[in-house]
Amino acid sequence: MVPAIGFGTYRLTGEQAYKAVQQALEIGYRHIDTAAFYENERDVGRAIKDSGLAREDIYVTTKIWYDRLEDVEASLEESLERLGLDHVDLALIHWPSPNDDVPMEAYLEGLNQARERGLTREIGVSNFTIAHLEKALTLPAGKHIVTNQVEVHPYLANRALVNFCEQKGIKVTAFMPLASGKVMDDDVLQDIGNKHDATAADVALAWLSQRDIAIIPSSSKPKHQQSNFDAIRISLSAEDMTRIDELNRGERIANPSMAPDWDT
């Protein structure tokens, strides 16, 4: 099961990634999220090893990039070598195949075979739309999908997709939960934060958590890591939640050229 909060490592590389993961584990994070594309798996793995924590106490997620969808198992094996682990807890397809060049049947079956081999305990997807999920759920491997990791934050509530996932029993994991820092300067979030002795970022994370969405905020600063970690303890009122809901403007940050046709 995907933990309620994890530590994201996107844009962290080298010694910065190593120290950030070490700090996060010291604070109490027990879910570390990485990806082959981030080029930091060796640093993440080194930090996990040096933490002194038991392997079974840390939930590790990595992702297979879209250029490796024809050899998913080999890609995951390479990730494990870099991480210095014999398995991860969750392996995700990072992006659906652009233009469906690689059949979904093939890459999801490859991911499920990796699960059956013990290379990962659980499998999931990332950046899948409702249409992608509908197709995935018709496939044998689809019944094993535990999460869809997608962009969700106060400016992109992603309601239709989130509701679909909830109906199908698929946990939503939010990446970029702070909208790449944009939430920090939001007057509404700051006002709500003042009521709870919290920051605007804390409020954004609490809003996601109260929607039963897992979060993977990222920061290299211990103070911010701690604040993010504590945010899920904040209890927002119904009025607070409504005010944050009203910030939604469909603002998408992660929208590369190979992105699918997003749900509205």
Tell me which residues are annotated as active site.
38
Q: How far apart are CA 221 and CA 181, in angstroms?
A: 14
**Half-sphere CA count of 21, side-chain side, radius 13 A:** 32
Tokens standing for residue 102:
């690689």
Q: How far apart are CA 13 and CA 21, in angstroms?
A: 11
The 3-class secondary structure across 77-126, one letter per residue, is: HHHHHHHCCCCEEEEEECCCCHHHCCCHHHHHHHHHHHHHCCCEEEEEEE
Q: What is the DSSP string of 17-84?
A: HHHHHHHHHHHT--EEE--GGGT-HHHHHHHHHHT---GGG-EEEEEE-GGGTTSHHHHHHHHHHHHT
Tokens standing for residue 86:
């014999």
Residue 27 C-alpha from the chain's centroid:
19
Tokens standing for residue 7:
């530590």
